[in-house]
C-alpha cells in the first residue's frame, strides 16, 4: 500500500518524473517510510522538486500537476518547495494507511462490503471510473469516514489558536498551540453511539479494540457535521486527507468490483499509534474472484 500510495502521490505532485514504476520503487527504497525519512533523502527530494518547479514556471503543459497549482498561486519558490514537500510526505503515509485500514475492515464486515459492491456496480457498471461518477459514491465515502474514525487514523492534531479562547475559567491566549486528542474524541460514546460494541462475528480477525465498524452512522448529517468540525471533512479537511479519500475510493472501486476481500483466519491485527495509526505488523488478506 505504501508503494501504491507513493506512486499516486509522486505522479500527482511531480508528473511524468515518476511514470516509470522502477523510479517509484527506487524512490521508496531511498526514503523508507515518510515518517522516518532521513536528511539525505530529504535533500534528494528537495533537489527533484526544485528542478520540476523551475521547469514548470512560466510554461503551459497539457497535464496539470500539484506544483502547477502552487505556481499559479503566485507563491515564491521557497513556499512552493515547502508546500510540495509537506504534501508529498504527508500524503504518502496517510493514503497508504487509509487504504490499508479500509481494506482490513471490509474483510471483517461482509454486509458492508456487499453494500459497497452494490453501490459501485450501480454507479460505474462496466464503465470507467471518472471524477464525476466518484461524487455519486456516497456509501463509499461513509466507509472511508468510518475507517478514519474506527482506526483513529490521525490520533493527534494541533492548531494555533487564532483568537483568545476560554474553557470554563481557563484562558487560552491567542497563538497558543492547541493539541487535539482526536484518538479520544473519535471514540467518545456521547458523540458516536456504540463505539465499543463487541461482535462475535469478527473473532477470526480482531477489529481494533472491538470497535463497531458502522458506515451507516454517517447517514446522519449532524454526525457528518461533527466529523467536519474535527477537520476530517468539509471545508476544514486537510488536502492530504482529501487526496487520500480520492485514491482510496479509486482503489476500492477497482478491487471490490472484481474481488471478494476476505480475512486471514486467526490473524490478529494490533495497533501502533504514531502520527498516523498503523498496524504493528503487516496485515494480510485473502481474495476470491467475483467473476
Binding-site residue positions: 238
Residues forming a β-bridge with 259: 289
CA distance 191 to 147: 16
Closest CA to 183 of 226, 152, 137, 218: 152
> Which long-range contacts does 110-114 make (Cβ < 8 Å, 24+ apart)?
112/143, 112/213, 112/215, 113/256, 113/260, 113/261
- Is the Cβ–Cβ distance between 158 and 179 less than 8 Å? yes
| Bind-site residues for heme | 238
Distances (CA, A) of 71 to 15, 52, 66, 90: 14, 11, 9, 20
Q: Are 80 and 67 in contact (CB under 8 A)?
A: yes
CB 158 within 8 A of CB 177: yes
Dihedral of the CA atoms 278, 284, 286, 291 (nearest 10)?
Answer: 50
Amino acid at each position: 500500500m505504501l508503494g501504491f500510495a507513493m506512486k499516486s502521490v509522486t505522479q500527482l505532485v511531480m508528473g511524468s518524473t515518476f511514470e516509470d514504476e522502477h523510479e517509484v520503487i527506487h524512490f521508496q527504497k531511498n526514503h523508507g517510510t515518510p515518517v522516518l525519512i532521513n536528511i539525505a533523502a530529504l535533500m534528494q527530494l528537495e533537489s527533484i522538486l526544485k528542478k520540476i518547479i523551475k521547469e514548470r514556471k512560466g510554461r503551459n503543459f497539457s497535464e496539470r500537476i500539484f506544483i502547477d497549482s502552487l505556481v499559479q498561486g503566485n507563491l515564491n519558490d521557497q513556499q512552493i518547495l515547502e508546500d510540495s514537500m509537506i504534501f508529498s510526505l504527508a500524503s504518502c503515509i496517510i493514503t497508504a494507511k487509509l487504504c490499508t485500514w479500509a481494506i482490513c475492515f471490509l474483510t471483517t464486515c461482509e454486509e458492508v462490503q456487499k453494500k459497497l459492491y452494490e453501490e459501485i456496480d450501480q454507479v460505474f457498471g462496466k464503465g470507467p471510473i471518472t471524477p464525476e461518477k466518484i461524487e455519486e459514491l456516497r456509501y463509499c465515502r461513509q466507509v472511508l469516514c468510518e475507517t478514519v474514525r474506527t482506526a483513529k487514523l490521525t490520533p493527534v492534531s494541533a492548531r494555533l489558536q487564532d483568537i483568545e479562547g476560554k474553557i470554563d475559567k481557563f484562558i487560552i491566549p491567542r497563538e497558543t498551540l492547541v493539541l487535539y486528542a482526536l484518538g479520544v474524541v473519535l471514540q467518545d460514546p456521547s458523540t458516536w453511539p456504540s463505539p465499543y460494541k463487541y461482535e462475535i462475528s469478527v473473532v477470526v480477525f480482531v477489529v481494533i479494540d472491538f470497535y463497531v465498524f458502522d458506515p451507516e452512522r454517517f447517514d446522519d448529517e449532524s454526525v457528518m457535521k461533527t466529523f467536519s468540525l474535527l477537520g476530517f471533512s468539509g471545508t476544514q479537511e486537510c488536502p492530504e486527507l482529501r487526496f487520500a479519500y480520492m485514491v482510496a475510493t479509486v482503489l476500492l472501486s477497482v478491487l471490490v468490483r472484481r474481488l471478494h476481500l476476505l480475512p486471514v483466519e486467526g490473524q490478529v491485527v494490533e495497533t501502533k499509534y504514531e502520527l498516523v495509526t498503523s498496524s504493528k505488523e503487516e496485515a494480510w488478506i485473502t481474495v476470491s474472484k467475483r467473476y
